[in-house]
Structure 1
Amino acid sequence: MTFRTLLISLALFVTSPLMVSASSDLPADIRAGLEQFRQASGLGIDLGDRHQRELYQQAEEARLNGQTDEAGRVLAEMKAGYWAAVGYLNLSTDYAREDLNPARALVALRVAMAMLEAEEKSARREDLRNRLLIRAGYLAYQHEEYEKAIGFLEKVALDSFNTPRALYLHGLALSQRNNHRAAMQSWHRARKYPLAYPGVADAWIAMGRGYDLSGYLGQAGEAYLAANAAFESERVTLRKLADKIRSEGAYKSLVEDAGETGVDWFLADSRKLAQPRTAYLLRFMEQPEAQQAAGRVATLEAMETQLAGFQRDLQVFASVLAEQIALVGGRAAGTGTTALAKQGADLRARLDQLLAQTLDAGQESRLAKLSKTLADTREKLHSLDQRVSERPGVLRALRDQALALKRRNEALMSSVQGLRRDAETALDTMTLEYVASQDQRMAFALDKTAQQIAHLYEYLALQNLAEAELSGEKTGEGRP
């Protein structure tokens, strides 16, 4: 059994186990080798990221069909790594939704963290690790296991996209432990991030609540007013961003300009994660539909650039061919070889005269070779005349092909430009809807702060009224 045959059969075995198992034509040694290879793969042989992705898809299909036990069985067969960790994260979500007790969901999250440790250090590994920690912290907080929640959330990286959410939840857990000062420190750190990130708006509102619970009602009112101003300012930012999208397009406004370091009207500072435009781009790109829409525009833009390059090359090629045709057309066929042909005829005549004289064998041999050389030269001159006469036709044919390709390239470029405009329009519509939803989110946050401010002022008014009544009773005011 050759190794190549084994690999081909293994590919069929991995891709479609039913196909292999149903086939009775495989030799016994190949079937035995495949079975050994399959068993070995479960003991440490890495079949690659693609195979793990396929197993993950199988687990997802089972999970989405409500077969969590089958999904767990497939995940248990997977190698430790990124895809197994994602599978257990999704499984924990189902457990959290189905169970009143978070134990099973937390166990699945811990298994996911353990699986992720086998993944090489990369951006996706760190991002998934932070998501797992936040999810575990949220579950623990939701079921009043505050110390456990604090332990999970304190491990989240501070330069992560999910850091503000972790800081907000961390503050909530500390607040439940009556450590309001530490809670407000976490919320204050979360407020330094753009409001586009999850948890930031909640942290602004929570600051006022923290002061309220600590007994500092004046500072609580100031915190709510500061949150109100921040939300109003963010709505202005969102309106300006929407105007920029309408005037320049979403692709340029968000994708192309997101990496700029210059000062713009909505750039808070030079830090990458602190730029509101970058923040909204990251949030927007969380949606698979947004990734596809932006990817279509980027692909069509690259195609248009490539076709424009082809167009320039074909234009230059056609121009050079036109110049060559004009240059060759001005020359008559045989013009350059007439003088050479005349000289060759003169040499031939003199050679014939020499051959007519009495010569020895050596002289005759040399003259015969010279005669052959002259004949070959005459044939080559004739062939050259023929090629020169054919050259204008060849050049015209090449130019016709170049012009035909140029017209075809123009048609393709026009089609790509139309598709790109459609893709940009679709992306603009999707982005404007997203910006509108963010503006609505800020409006809801404004309503919350307005309610908190109203409740605070109502409480202060009642407290002042109660103090005034108490003071009146002590001094006898109002009595007959």
Structure 2
Amino acid sequence: MTIRFTAVNYRIHPAVRRTLDTLLSPCRRRYFAAPMASVVLILGIALASPAFADSGSDVIGDEAEAKATARDRLLYREALFRHYTNDDLGTLTLLENRHMGSNHIANRFHNLNHILAIEAGSRYGMFQANTEIAEHLAFTVREKDVLQRAKLYEGRVAYEAGQYTDALKKLSESLDSLDRVGLDEAYYLMARCYIHQKRPADAGRALGKVTEGTFWAAYGYYNLAVYYGENDPDVNRALISFRVAAAMTPNTEEGLELKDRIYLSAGHLALLSDEYDKALGFLQNVRADGASAAAGIYDYGLAFAGLKRYRVAIQAWHRAKKFALVVPGVAEAFQAIAYGYEQEGLRATSIDAYLEAVSVYDKEMRHTAEIRKSLLADGMLAVLDKARRQHNEAAWFLATDLVTNTPTVAFVNFLMSDDEFYALAKTLLQLDGMRKFSRSALDRLDIYEQALAKKASDVKKARSDRKALLNTSNLNEVIARRNELAPDLKTGSISLVAELEYVDRILVQARQEFVSLRKQMAAAESGFSDLNDRIATLRDRYSAALERSDAVIAEYEGLLAKRGDELLQRHYDNIEDFYLRSQLSLVNLYDDLAIDELEKMQADKMRSEREAGAK
């Protein structure tokens, strides 16, 4: 049984970075010039870190400082919303295009936006870019907690690069002013470094400083238990660590799934050590409706079988028959049922069980072949979309024919359990998200261009109307008439002279306003032209990004189809092996029954002959 750690490493295609480079503003393009980097999926709970909490209670020194932070505060809130909704591309786009704060030293929200960009960029493997941002913050930030958060990121990158000594140094330097969640992550990563350095005692001490009842603590002790299980001859240390991990797990949906995996791993380890009672104690805590249920049921039955309680084991294995055959433990349970009946001496019932298993395996092989054909014909995105739609339908999980009609979503779950396939699928979905983003942007540009054209038409019409009102000849005629009357008015009364001066001021003002309006109308035409040029530029950029996305997606579709076909072929071979072994067991049972029948007939014949001789 494979016990998986909490981090998944994979390589991201360089075209992903080029596509992002096209989508994002060139204002910090140098940050995205890094070579291909590893993408690391650290625990999703980091999204909810209080490090991103709105610091609304912060005291702003004066009005000028408050105005300086207002834009970045609003930007931070919008970007934070996108980040919490897992829209990392939207987060990066927003921050790259509008991150305009001018004061890095006193502007807390500007620096928090940098931290947010680091977290979002990590999801796309932008480690070189993020490292440059962290180094930039080291020289400009006054807020110690923000600086420590940047150091925490540097420690995380060093850990993922396998530089455990350097990671421990950087993580230790980040501990001084981190918030509680930041400290938990730092101690968790330190424990992982110690485990890689084969220092479990130090790992335990680091985990002792993690907040109880958090995922950091639960995963930390889970990984420590795995280390003990693989390296310590005393299985009890691993089992104790598993118990601690289970006790640390939060009572959320994700936490309950993790707790199931913990109990399943502990029970399986106890089972391998022939400690059947301990195995039962762990396995009975695995939920019957969780993702680990089938594997737990199978191991639960094995524990009873180890105690020679085959009837109870058979009852347990029957409960696994409601799950799809791609789920670990289900295919094994069908054979185990027949084996249990055989051990109980119920050969006829065992034959029926083997016949049922053969039928189920045969249907699964045919269905697997159909899925392979669909994957190669339609592509992985179509299969993932179908699985997503099935997943949203609760009825698929409640269906009673899963074992004979495995749904696509169950096959996708099976494929996603493979690290390489999951990494490729993750990148493919990110690329597809970029492609959808580009298409949406092009649609928005079309709408904006239409609105702009209508506005330009309205302005042009209004300009024509104003031109008629602001006729140059009319104004010049008034001025000429005034000039003709001016000599006569100067010889008139004082009041008429004053009126002349008033008219002069009105005419000067009218002339100035006329010239100003002419300039404004010309500027309006120029403004519409500039906007149209910008639309054309953006359309070219998004079209180029869309074209590159299509090319890379096609490449990843090919890689995924190949890997998916390999996994499905492996599943097919595994089911075929169960199929052949079940048939062989049937043949052996039929042979045994035939031999027993022959021996019975021979015994009856001999008894009849003895009775006849006695007479």
* Fold equivalence (TM over 0.5): yes
Residue in structure 1 matched with residue 238 of structure 2 by the alignment: 105
Write the letter of the residue equivalent to 2:243.
R
TM-superposed CA distance for 1:392, in Å, is 5.1
The answer to whether the 8 Å contact 1:231/1:446 transfers is yes
Find the partner of 2:350 among 220, 227, 241. Answer: 220
Describe the shift of the 1:271–1:6 C-alpha distance in structure 2 as closer, same or farther (beyond 3 A).
Answer: farther
Residues 1:209 and 2:209 aligned together: no
- In the other structure, the counterpart of 2:515 is 382
Query: Partner of 1:87 in structure 2?
Result: 220
Is the contact between residue 225 and residue 241 of structure 2 (CA under 8 Å) also seen in structure 1?
yes
Post-superposition CA distance 1:54-108 (Å, at most 9, x none): 3333323332343333333333333323223223223323333344442222112
Aligned runs of 1:362-377 on 2, under 5 Å?
Answer: 362-377=495-510
Q: Which has the larger radius of gyration?
A: 1
Question: In 2, distance between residues paired with 1:89 and 1:378?
Answer: 83
**Residue identity in the other structure for 1:304:** R
Helix, strand or coil at the partner of 1:205: helix
Q: Report SS of the residue matched to 1:476.
A: helix
Which stretches in structure 2 are left out of the alignment for 5+ residues? 1-58, 60-141, 156-166
TM-score, normalised on structure 1?
0.81
Question: RMSD across aligned C-alpha pairs, in angstroms?
Answer: 3.9
Counterpart contact for 1:228–1:450, Cα < 8 Å: yes
* Counterparts of 2:172 and 2:353, CA distance in 1: 68
Paired residue type of 2:388: A
Kindly report which structure 2 residues correspond to 1:461-476, keeping only aligned pairs within 5 A, or say none.
Answer: 461-476=594-609
After superposition, where does 1:260-409 map in structure 2 within 5 Å?
A: 260=390, 270=399, 276-315=407-446, 336-337=467-468, 340-352=471-483, 353=485, 356-357=488-489, 360-388=493-521, 395-409=528-542
1:323 shift after superposition: 8.2
Contact 1:314–1:403 under 8 Å retained in 2: no
The code of the aligned residue for 2:324 comes to P
The answer for the alignment partner of 1:68 in structure 2 is 200
Greater mean deviation of Cα atoms: 313-322 or 399-408: 313-322
1:304–1:416: 8 Å Cα contact kept in structure 2? yes
Distance 1:77 1:268, change over 3 A: closer
User: For residues 198 and 256 of structure 2, what CA distance do their matches in structure 1 show?
Assistant: 29
Relative to structure 1, is the Cα distance of residues 8 and 220 closer, same or farther in structure 2, using a 3 angstrom cutoff? closer
Select which of 262, 285, 306 maps to 1:155: 285
Match of residue 115 from structure 2? none
1:100-138 Cα shifts (integer Å, max 9, x gaps): 44222211211222222xx3x323211111011112222
Q: Look up the SS of the partner of 1:53 in the other structure.
A: helix
TM-score (structure 2 length as normaliser): 0.65
SS in 2 for 1:191: helix
Paired residues of 2:361 and 2:578 also in contact (CA < 8 A): yes
The structural deviation recorded for 1:235 is 0.7
Say how many residue pairs are matched: 454
Mapped to 1, the partners of 2:419 and 2:183 lie a distance apart of 23
Distance in 1 (CA, whole Å) between partners of 2:451 and 2:151 is 57
Cα distance in 1, alignment partners of residues 465 and 397 from structure 2: 77
Partner in structure 2 of residue 449 of structure 1: 582
Could you say if the C-alpha distance between residues 129 and 269 of structure 1 is closer, same or farther in structure 2, counting changes exceeding 3 Å? closer
Question: Sequence identity, in percent?
Answer: 23
Equivalent of residue 183 in structure 1, options 313, 317, 322: 313
TM-fit CA distance, 1:479: 10
Bigger shift: 190-199 or 451-460? 451-460
Work out whether residues 184 and 209 of structure 2, in 8 Å CA contact, stay in contact via their aligned partners in 1: no
Residues 145-166 of structure 1: per-residue CA shift (max 9 Å, x gap): 3333222212111111110111
Gaps of 5+ in 1: 23-33
- Taking a change above 3 Å as real, the CA distance of residues 271 and 292 of structure 1, as seen in their structure-2 partners, is farther
Distance 1:478 1:363, change over 3 A: farther
* Structure 1 equivalent of residue 96 of structure 2: none
Letter of the 1:173 partner, please give it. Answer: A
